[in-house]
A and B are shown apart, each in its own frame.
Chain A
Amino acid sequence: MSQKQHVTLTVNGVKRSLEVEPRQLLVHALRDDLGLTGTHVGCDTSQCGACTVLLNGEAVKSCTTLTVQADGAEVTTVEGLGDMNDLHPVQEGFWEKHGLQCGFCTPGVMMTAVGLLKHNPNPTEEEIREGLEGVICRCTGYQNIVRAVQYAAQKTSQQGTAVEVAAAGSGSEE
């Protein structure tokens, strides 16, 4: 049997300590141990993107990341994006452009969109579609998702603020 290991994560800006089995997936730490059920699990094959969160500021699939791999890291989930009184531009985009139907994929799509806009604040439609390759939506046909991301990009450039959220880490450097 593998021993439980001590892990410290900063989730949505709050430091959390956990005792976890090495095989625990980050998505289960978030959902089951921390009660952050906005992050979803939609597949077993790392393809649907419903589990996408930001790890040190970059969009990753939390079903394909071990909690122990994230030890010491900053994690942002959809709960950390914004709330009803203060929507993140991406959330506002989904609201305004009707970017969801059942909503199952939405948290993952929004986190992926945040990761995309961080590196490419003014994406073309094609770049948005390519950037969202790693998320699957079974309802919308993606049209309104693309419009929602376009809205967020426009809104952000008007405001002159970065789409990054509080916990976003530094980019890669050479």
Chain B
Amino acid sequence: MISSTFEYERVSTVAEAIERLQAAGGEAKLLAGGHSLLPMMKLRLASPGKLIDISAVQELHGIVREPDGLVVGALTTHAHVASSPMVREYLPALAQAASKVGDLQVRNRGTLGGNLSHADMASDLPAVALAYEAEVYVVTMDGEETLQAEEFFLGPLLTAMPENSVMRSVKFRTPPSGSKSVYEKVPHPASGYAVVGIAAVVAVNEDNVVTHARIGITGAADVAYRARGVEDALIGKAFTEEAIQSAAVYASDDGMIAGDLYASEAYRRQLCKVHTARALRKLLAQ
């Protein structure tokens, strides 16, 4: 199917993109990889009057290492994130999640910035952004803004990004040294999106006591959330199978879980528990 008509313009700077967004008065949308926006436009679930193609904006590409994390440009593709040696070394859960997005062709086009901006409730990357306590760098009409991952995702397809703004990059914080991290996903058999996706980051001290635990869960609730109940139950305890089992029961407590066509509420809560335990067990075995 073909979308309704629109104007198209390719810009080469962030400033230009913001200027065009402002000028269009809410009629325009940014276009990155197009792998969330174009499918919606083809089904006529979205019909923006104008697309501003930012894919050629150089400053939005690439991955840079900083002392406390990796700054990933908004236009970095899933394929690039998944294969980056730096991401694989410092943020393994991010590399794993990116490698599980859609399929090979989708990963060649879809971008990190587009994925987080679109904020689909079943997207993979929001869980990882939460678990690595990411900072989202946004350029607005009035300057730059930094948003914390936890305040970024507001609801299905809804983020805290101000109007007429461009996501520049995202800093995923490298967890304390000695941390282990993993992304565990139950893909929907038809769409491939996450029915539930769990990003888990855990650090233990020399006595095997958990000193750091961050759990991000996507797919299960109306928006990705931090499973603080699980984190609190782990921190200060010895990292053992028993600790995992008693912490995982809290996995669905921090999300607004509801049933839909794909899964009932009870099933989703069960998936959260079982797969949080599996994710933690993988870390225990590492």
Contacts and interface: CB of A to CB of B under 8 A. Distances in A.
Contacts of A69: 31, 34, 53, 55
Given A3-B7, A69-B31, A172-B79, A59 B105 contact: yes
Interface stretch (A10-18, A19-27, A139-147, A156-164): A19-27
**Taking each of B53, B80, B105, B190, which has the highest tally of chain A beta carbons within 10 Å of its own beta carbon?**
B105
A1 interface: yes
Interface string A103-143: 00000000010011001000000000001111100000000
B1 interface: yes
- The list of the 5 closest CB pairs from A to B, nearest first, reads A134-B103, A22-B8, A133-B103, A58-B108, A172-B80
B3 interface: yes
Instruction: Say which size band chain B's interface belongs to.
Output: 35 or more
A52 B85 CA distance: 27
Contact of B109 (A44, A60, A68): A60
Given A49-B103, A115-B108, A134-B106, A64 B39 contact: yes
Interface in A58-114: 58-61, 63-66, 68-69, 71, 112
Contacts of B267: none
Contacts of A44: 1, 42-43
Nearest to B110: A64
21 contacts: A21-B5, A22-B5, A22-B8, A23-B2, A23-B3, A24-B2, A25-B42, A44-B1, A44-B42, A45-B39, A52-B105, A59-B104, A66-B34, A68-B10, A69-B31, A69-B34, A116-B104, A134-B104, A172-B79, A172-B83, A174-B85
A134 B51 CA distance: 26
A163 to B, nearest CB: 14
B77 A172 contact: yes
B84 interface: yes
Nearest to A24: B2
B62 interface: yes
Contacts of B86: 174
Interface residues of A, number: 39
A8 interface: no
A52 B35 CA distance: 14
Contacts of A49: 103, 105
A23 B5 contact: yes
A172 B77 CA distance: 9
Contacts of A24: 2
A25 B3 CA distance: 9
B35 A66 contact: no
A22 B1 CA distance: 14
A6 B10 CA distance: 13
Contacts of B4: 23
Interface string B168-205: 00000000000000000000001110000000000000
B210 interface: no
B108 to A, nearest CB: 4
A47 B42 CA distance: 13
A37 interface: no
